[in-house]
Structure formats: structure tokens, C-alpha cells
Amino acid sequence: MNIALDNILSRTKGDRWIWLIVILLSTISMMAVYSSTGTIAYQHDTGAERYLMKHMFMIFGGIALMYISHKLDYRYYAGISKVLMAITIPLLIYTLIFGSHVNDASRWVAIPGTGLTFQTSDLAKLALITYLARTLSRKQENIKDVKQSFIPIMGSVCVVFILIALANLSTALMLFGVSILLLIMGRISVKQIAVVCLAGAFLLAGVVLLGPRRATYKSRIEAFMHPEHTNSDKSFQADHAKIAIATGGVFGKGPGNSTERNYLPQSYSDFIYATIVEEYGLIGGLLVIAIYLFLLYRCVKIVTKAPKAFGALLAAGLSFSLTIQAFANMAIAVGLGPVSGVPLPLVSMGGTSILFTSVAFGIILSVSRHIDETTGENAVGKEGSLKETNKRESNKVVVGEIEMA
């Protein structure tokens, strides 16, 4: 058993704490999903084990992808980012026109022959972040140049933002925020960043006021700002999420004892944090928050140690994306924001979103692995130099002793 464990550990590289975080979040996810799918399983006359097995299959598939991603040198992702962007933009357009419509939103594309669907916005997040990291790192010498640097960067951010926002505004806003953080880290001038923000605000206003889901956005904002004057049907999910959290208390009702899972339509995905707090109480909720905060801390350490700008920007963008999404999900569950379809990374039940999240973790670990290998090589080099110096000094002493004799 120990030999097998040592063999596995020897093959996994990068920050060990991030591997532990992935295991903890996956364990919490399986427990919460198994508990929260009891109602939907009853409605479909099946067992909750069926949903758990499907979810576990996605988790183990995600861990496999994370392992493969972390073994690939992160510098290869610079070239891959161009391919991803070339695929992403046409795919986002295809999704808006021919994608599957759920709740008046066209976010999903069917994968032929598998029966699975995936949100193209998950691929777009990965593509834009890697592309921005590549572009910002390679154009540092002329980063202030409008034609060579600013226009390509601004164009990629705004195009991806508008294509995602038409169907999934919350994801688009988070990705836009991450992009701005990367522009700041990439030494883009304040004036240019202000221009990007103004362009984003203009596009946002157009989507909210003229977009195909303007009625949905308006009703959700009204339900959040004035819940006392809102139809109970529109605030149904938010109300029951608050009830779940309020009745959880300090220690919770215990695993599998949630009652609000019978009322929350998305208790296993968008509102899984409310289910966790109801069953595990304030302690469980704070534990999940602490895990994501610790993840951010470990990723920041990787960013500060990365020897190259591309690695630092890549790790920063992906880690900011994961943690911002996590805290947005938890904020919505506790009533700090309007309802939106934002899953909790590696915890919410999902299909391909888990796979894309796992790839993001793998890329971060790839950067961390490169740092460890570089540090190890430097340490070996220094040790070799020290041994050589000691050897020369020792020879001098011996020669001196012979001459004195």
C-alpha cells in the first residue's frame, strides 16, 4: 500500500497543497451531491447512487486531465492559446445561434455521439486567459503601443465578453474582471485600462437593455434589490437558499438531513453551498471558504515565484478566475447578489465544467512544477560549486602540509 502511494506521489509534481485542496473539494462535492440529488432521483424514479456515480466519473476524469495538464510544460500553452482562441470565437457564435436553449439562454453545445453537452463559456475562459497571458508577456517591450499591443488585447477581451454576455452575463462579468486584473499585472497603462473598462460598460449596457435576456436580467435585479415587492415565484430560489442557511445553525442538521433540497431546483449545482451550510452548519460553510482562500494563497505564492512573465500571468489569471467564481457562487447563495447560473468550482454537480476546471488546476500545477524543477537545478548547481570549492581548498591544505613537511 505504501509502495503504491509512494509511486503515485513520485509521479505527481507541483504544489502538494493544491493537490490536497483538489482532493478535499472533490470529497466535499461527492458528499454534497449524493445528499442533494435525493429529490431529483425520486422524481425520475431512480436512485441517488446513479447521479453520484456519474458525478464521480466526471471527477476522476477531471483528475486524469489535471494530471496530464500538469505534466505538460506550461510554456506549450502559449502556442495552444492561439488554437483555442481560433476555435472559441466561432464556437461561441455557433452556440448563440444553434445551441441548446435552457431558461431562455443558449449556453450549451451537444457533443456528437456522447449525449453530453458543455458550456462554451468554460472553454472561452481558458482560451482568453491563456491568450492574454501569452500576448502580455510577449509584448512587454512595446506594451504601450496602441496598434501592436493595445488593439489586439482590447479586441480579444471585448469580443469574448459580448459573445458570452448575450447568454451568460454573470460569467462574462467575472471573466472581464479577471482580464482587467491581468492587464494591470501586464503593465498596461491606466488610460488604456480605462478605455477597456468604458468599452466593457458600453457593451454591458447594450446587453442589459437590448439583449435577448433583458427581461430576465431586469427581473433578477429587481428581485434582489426589492425582494419585498417581488413576486414570490421570482425569488423562490433565493428565499429557500436563505432558509437552508438560516436553519443550518452552527453545526448543521447532519449529512443527508437537508430539507430545502426538496424545494431548491438547483440544490446540487448553483445552490450547493446552501445545502452544505444546511447540513454542516456554519462550521462547514467556513471550512469551504477557508479552502478557497488557502487555494488563492498558494496560487499567489506560485505567481510570485514564477521566473517568467507568462507563467506568472497564466497562474494568476486561472487562480483569480477560480476563486472569483467560487466566492460569487457563495455570495449568491447567502443573498449578497442576484441569482445567476454560477457553479461552485469542483463542488457543484456538473459535466464538462468539472473537466475544464480540472485542466485549469493542471496548468497552475504545471507552472508550480516548473518552479520546483528550476529551483532544484539551481540548488544542485550551487551544491556542486560548493563541493568543488571545498575540494580545491582541501587540496591547497594538503599541498601546504607537504611543503611544510
pLDDT(14) > 90: no
Are 55 and 149 part of one and the same domain? no
Cα 14 from Cα 23, distance rounded (Å): 15
pLDDT(230) > 70: no
pLDDT(386) > 80: no
Alpha helices in 146-189 (DSSP H): 151-165, 169-185
Q: Under a CB-based contact definition with an 8 Å cutoff, are residues 53 and 90 in contact?
A: no
Cα 312 from Cα 308, distance rounded (Å): 6
Examine residue 392 and state whether it is found in any structural domain, yes or no. no
Examine residue 347 and state whether it is found in any structural domain, yes or no. yes
Rounded (10°) CA dihedral 47, 51, 52, 57: 140
Domain termination site, one of 192, 211, 230:
211
Q: Into how many domains does the chain fold?
A: 2
How confident is the model over 142-169, as a mean pLDDT?
86
Work out the number of other CB atoms within 10 angstroms of the CB of residue 286: 12
Would you say how long the chain is, in residues?
405
Phi first, then psi, for residue 47 (nearest 5°) are: -100, 155
Examine residue 397 and state whether it is found in any structural domain, yes or no. no
pLDDT(398) > 80: no
Are 10 and 95 part of one and the same domain? no
pLDDT(24) > 90: yes
pTM given for the model: 0.88
Comparing 235 with 308, the larger pLDDT belongs to 308
3-state secondary structure of 102: strand
Are 106 and 65 part of one and the same domain? no
Tens digits of per-residue pLDDT, 80-116? 999 999 999 999 998 888 877 665 566 777 776 666 7
Are 81 and 67 part of one and the same domain? no
- What pLDDT does 115 receive? 66
Helix axes 169-185, 151-165, angle to 10 degrees: 160
DSSP bridge pairs for 109: 118
Are 6 and 87 part of one and the same domain? no
Comparing 256 with 9, the larger pLDDT belongs to 256
Q: For the chain, what is the radius of gyration of the CA atoms?
A: 25
Examine residue 222 and state whether it is found in any structural domain, yes or no. no
Cα 75 from Cα 311, distance rounded (Å): 8
Q: Cell numbers at residue 231, please?
A: 413576486
Phi first, then psi, for residue 335 (nearest 5°) are: 90, 20
- What pLDDT does 215 receive? 83
Work out the number of other CB atoms within 10 angstroms of the CB of residue 398: 10
Examine residue 371 and state whether it is found in any structural domain, yes or no. yes
Tens digits of per-residue pLDDT, 361-379? 999 999 999 898 887 655 5
* Sequence letter at residue 85: M
- What pLDDT does 8 receive? 57
Cα 92 from Cα 276, distance rounded (Å): 33
Are 252 and 345 part of one and the same domain? yes
Are 199 and 80 part of one and the same domain? yes
Examine residue 221 and state whether it is found in any structural domain, yes or no. no
Q: Under a CB-based contact definition with an 8 Å cutoff, are residues 54 and 298 in contact?
A: no
- Domain ranges, residue 35: 1-71+248-376
Are 27 and 139 part of one and the same domain? no
How confident is the model over 317-333, as a mean pLDDT?
95
- Which residue has cell 515565484? 305
Examine residue 228 and state whether it is found in any structural domain, yes or no. no
Domain termination site, one of 211, 240, 275:
211
Which of 38, 24, 21, 55 is closest to 348 using CA atoms? 55
DSSP bridge pairs for 116: 111
- What pLDDT does 404 receive? 36
Are 326 and 372 part of one and the same domain? yes
Tens digits of per-residue pLDDT, 164-223? 998 888 999 999 999 999 999 988 888 989 999 999 999 999 988 888 888 888 888 887
pLDDT(389) > 70: no
pLDDT(395) > 60: no
DSSP bridge pairs for 117: 110
Are 286 and 309 part of one and the same domain? yes
Which of 330, 300, 341, 325 is closest to 177 using CA atoms? 325
Are 95 and 154 part of one and the same domain? yes
Examine residue 91 and state whether it is found in any structural domain, yes or no. yes
Least reliable range by pLDDT among 125-139, 249-263, 355-369, 375-389: 375-389
- What pLDDT does 18 receive? 95
Are 80 and 191 part of one and the same domain? yes
User: Among 53-67, 137-151, 234-248, which range has the highest average pLDDT?
Assistant: 53-67
Tens digits of per-residue pLDDT, 263-304? 888 888 889 999 999 999 999 999 999 999 999 999 999 999
- Which residue has cell 456519474? 54
Comparing 397 with 380, the larger pLDDT belongs to 380
